Amino acid sequence: MTAIRIVEVGPRDGLQNESARLPLADKVRFIDALSKTGLREIEAGAFVRPDRVPQMADSESVLRRIRRARGVVYSALVPNEQGFERAVDAGADKAAVFTAASETFNRRNINASIRESIDRFRPVVARARRMRLPLRAYVSTAFWCPYEGKVSPAAVARVARTLLELGVQELSIGDTIGKASPSDVRRLLDALLKTTPAKTIFLHFHDTYGMAVANALCAWSEYRITGFDASAGGLGGCPYAPGASGNVATEDLLYALKASGADVPAEPKAVAAAAALILARLGREPSSRLGRLARGAAGR
């Protein structure tokens, strides 16, 4: 039995897509609570333009103020070399760059072709390698693109190979708009695993249409994928679909994997509890099933 690896993206991908802005102390408390659950990696912030992503404007302070738990990796999203420097200065253990598998999405999202976006973070890869800092790359719209529709598995495999050859160690293969079904997961993994080692792959599902848990279980039970991104409390949303649920909820994903016999790093209930405070601060109900149960048990 191979251990499940979770990258907790609630404090970054989750909060970044919540409309409410939270005070620094709440973010720090959220990450500190997550640190005690057993989760081994937490994406704690992003060093991007504060005018574009105001929710992440205080990521430097967040990284400086959290109580680091032994054995937990605290990572940060960086768009370029300056962002990388700031992340490292603030104490990030790992950095993450980003591109997409759909040209139209990449152009509209960051005004660059896929090749240009990879060229932009090439210096980041070089610096991370010299520093021996682990580096992941997000590949957005790996299943469906809001502009182009279905994305071809061959396009994803091409981007993945380029990134690995460049020196990125880990790929987060994202279903940005949450439209992938298990059939799409199978089609992509059939192609991707021909050139990309399974251990470098993290699947990043959004639960927009309610298929995220099914997708993860399919990838784990049929393809032995063990890496998944998830967001405590199901925090987040989708800029392309108002009202959308966010990333698959960490607690629901852990519960389903554990129920299926997988070796999971944290207790689902502990993660739901860690999310409860931040959800209360955001003034919203948990979108996770376990979060709803926790509220019900507390009589709220």
Q: Which residues bind a copy of itself (CB under 8 A)?
A: 179, 181-184, 207-211, 213-214, 217-218, 221, 241-245, 249, 252, 255-256, 259-261, 285, 287-290, 292-297, 299-300
Closest of 37, 169, 227 to residue 216, by C-alpha: 227
Pairing of strands 135-140, 41-46: unpaired
Under 8 Å between Cβ of 205 and 247: yes
Q: How far is the CB of 238 from a copy of itself (least distance, A)?
A: 9
Nearer to a copy of itself, 274 or 294 (CB): 294
Closer residue to a copy of itself in complex, CB, 71/299: 299
Gap between the Cα atoms of 97 and 79, Å rounded: 6
Residue keyed to tokens 């105001």 = 54
Instruction: Return phi, psi of residue 137, to 5°.
Output: -130, 130
Query: Taken in order 165, 11, 212, 268, is the CA torsion positive or negative?
Result: positive
Minimum Å gap between C-beta 174 and a copy of itself is: 17
Indicate the SS3 state at residue 13: helix
Residue 273 or 290: the one with the smaller Cβ distance to a copy of itself is: 290
Q: What single letter denotes the amino acid at residue 100?
A: A
User: Least distance to a copy of itself from the beta carbon of 176, Å?
Assistant: 15
Closer CB to a copy of itself, residue 71 or residue 296? 296
Of 71 and 243, CB closest to a copy of itself: 243
d(CA 30, CA 65): 12
- Give the amino acid at 281: R
Provide the minimum distance between the beta carbon of 17 and a copy of itself in the complex, in angstroms, as a whole number.
12
CB of 20 to a copy of itself, least distance (A): 15
Marked catalytic residue, from 211, 212, 238, 279:
238
Task: For residue 238, indicate whether it is catalytic.
Answer: yes
Identify the residue whose tokens are 């993994």: 189
Nearer to a copy of itself, 148 or 285 (CB): 285
Is 11:30 a contact under the CB 8 Å cutoff? yes
Distance between CA atoms of residues 21 and 42, nearest Å = 19
Calpha distance 298→300 (Å, rounded)? 6
Decide if 158 contacts 188 (C-beta within 8 A): no
Smallest distance from a copy of itself to CB 286, Å? 10
The residues carrying an active-site annotation are: 238
